[in-house]
Amino acid sequence: MAFTAKDVMALREKTGAGVMDCKKALTDADGDMTKAAELLRERGIAKADKKASRIAAEGIVACYVEGNVGVLIEINCESDFVAKNPRFTEIANEIAKVVVAKNPADVETLLSSEIEGAANVEEYLKSQIAVIGEKIAIRRFTRYETAGFVESYIHLGGKLGVMLDMAGAADETTKSVAHEVTLQIAFTKPSYLTEAEVPTEVLEKEKEVLKQQAMNEGKPEAIAEKMVMGRIKKFYEENCLLKQAFIKDDKQTIAGLLKAANNAEINRFTFYVMGEGLEKKSEDLSEEVAKQVAAAKNN
């Protein structure tokens, strides 16, 4: 039975074993996930079972910039206490440096990349887990390499991060406006840079919703269709960065702000909200105490 890279990562998440160990186990088990997990246990490799099963839904977003290359990365852990530890930020930065240097295609490739002080990033993380005492997981990263410059902004100690790829030289005026734009993105969370970036399917779906809204207001279908054109303008103004009103002066758009700053240009941007979409641990204190008592009795 064949297996994929996703199967390898799923087995790694389940057992805490290394990527190469998981690949070998899946090969030996002919792709059977259950049998592969048993093989890892038998081989004494799945020793991180307990930590691997925990939910790493806290953490930070960090940004590391070196020259004209920038990396925005989200690293997760189990508790807010660990996330606020300066050492955890150092870990995120060390891994981001690897992304800058190696330009890995994805998280799996990053985990197998070389890092100073360990055979690879995966082994480095294991050594840090042993020190910190919590599961640490690399969730995602974005790498920008530009002919211009990279500007970044980290909000609330890593709860949200923005990275901006600017065209042209990093003079005082352009750097200043780039900083203002990162604040804008953090506040408004736009989905696109320009109207042209909005996918056709997204736009058509929005038009359907707006038309239905107008018809629910009692408007005839023909009138509702005309109203959509006016309302779609508001959609662009809310979701496209260059069309947005500047948060510090709503009489000016971001496009206008850039024009006034020596015609500064944005190539692209990205932002991460830490933990967005991740499952959170939802145990109350009594449940946690009961589990700890039960575990103590079994030891």
Is the same domain home to 38 and 68? Answer: no
Region of residue 131 (left: phi > 0; alpha: psi -120 to 50; beta: else): alpha
- Domain contains 10: yes
Count of domains observed in the chain: 3
Q: So what's the pLDDT on residue 211?
A: 87
Rounded Cα distance, 124 and 128, in Å? 6
Q: So what's the pLDDT on residue 10?
A: 84
- Domain contains 292: no
pLDDT for residue 203 is more than 90: yes
- Domain contains 187: no
CATH number at residue 208: 1.10.286.20
Is the same domain home to 153 and 231? Answer: no
pLDDT for residue 130 is more than 90: no
| 104 SS3 class | coil
Locate tokens 């800058």: which residue? 100
Is the same domain home to 83 and 138? Answer: yes
Is residue 105 exposed (0-12), middle (13-18) or buried (19+ Cβ within 10 Å)? exposed
Q: What is the pLDDT of residues 13-61, one digit of tens each?
A: 777 777 888 888 999 999 998 888 888 877 666 544 445 556 678 999 9
What DSSP line would sit under 61-83, residue for residue? EEEEEETTEEEEEEEEES-HHHH
Rounded Cα distance, 38 and 206, in Å? 49
Is the same domain home to 32 and 84? Answer: no
Q: Which domain holds residue 246?
A: 195-260
- Domain contains 279: no
Calculate the alpha carbon distances from 236 to 94, 193, 197 in Å. Answer: 38, 10, 11
Query: Residues with Cβ < 8 Å from 292, sequence gap 6 or more?
Result: none
CATH number at residue 46: 1.10.8.10
Locate tokens 């150092």: which residue? 90
Q: For residue 71, what are its two tokens?
A: 């990396």
The residue-averaged pLDDT of 103-116 equals 96
Whether 236 and 132 have beta carbons less than 8 Å apart is answered as no
Whether 254 and 181 have beta carbons less than 8 Å apart is answered as yes
- Domain contains 76: yes
Q: What is the pLDDT of residues 73-90, one digit of tens each?
A: 999 999 999 999 999 999
Q: So what's the pLDDT on residue 233?
A: 92
- Domain contains 115: yes
Can you give 221-263 as a three-state secondary structure string?
HHHHHHHHHHHHHHHHHHHEHHHCEECCEEEEEHHHHHHHCCC
Is the same domain home to 16 and 82? Answer: no
Please give the model's pTM, rounded to 2 decimal places.
Answer: 0.75
Is the same domain home to 133 and 34? Answer: no
CATH number at residue 125: 3.30.479.20
Is the same domain home to 152 and 107? Answer: yes
Is the same domain home to 160 and 146? Answer: yes
